[in-house]
Structure 1
Amino acid sequence: MKQKIINKIHHVAIIVSDYEKSKDFYVNKLGFEIIRENYRIERDDYKLDLKLGDCELEIFGMKGNPKRLSRPEACGLRHLAFKVDCIEEVIKELNKKGIETEPIRIDEFTNEKMTFFFDPDGLPLELHE
Structure 2
Amino acid sequence: MASTLLPAIHHVALICSDYARSKAFYSETLGFRIIREVYRAERDSWKLDLEVSPGVSLELFSFPSPPPRPSRPEAQGLRHLAFSVPDVDAVIATLLERGVTCEPVRVDEFTDRRFTFFADPDGLPIELYEA
TM over 0.5: yes
Per-residue CA deviations over 1:76-117 (Å, capped at 9, x if unaligned) read 111110111111111010011100100000011211000000
* CA–CA distance in structure 2, aligned partners of residues 128 and 45 of structure 1: 32
Q: Which residue type is aligned with residue 65 of structure 2? A: G
- Alignment match, 1:124: 125
Q: Which residue type is aligned with residue 85 of structure 2? A: V
- Alignment match, 2:87: 86
Moved over 4 A (4+): none
- Alignment match, 2:28: 28
* CA–CA distance in structure 1, aligned partners of residues 122 and 3 of structure 2: 39
- Alignment match, 1:112: 113
- Alignment match, 1:102: 103
Q: 1:4 Cα shift?
A: 4.4
- Alignment match, 1:43: 43
TM-score by length of structure 1 reads: 0.93
The CA RMSD over aligned residues, in Å, is 1.5
Q: Which runs of 5+ in 2 are unaligned?
A: none
Q: Which runs of 5+ in 1 are unaligned?
A: none
TM-score by length of structure 2 reads: 0.92
SS class of match (1:14): strand
Q: Which residue type is aligned with residue 111 of structure 1? A: D
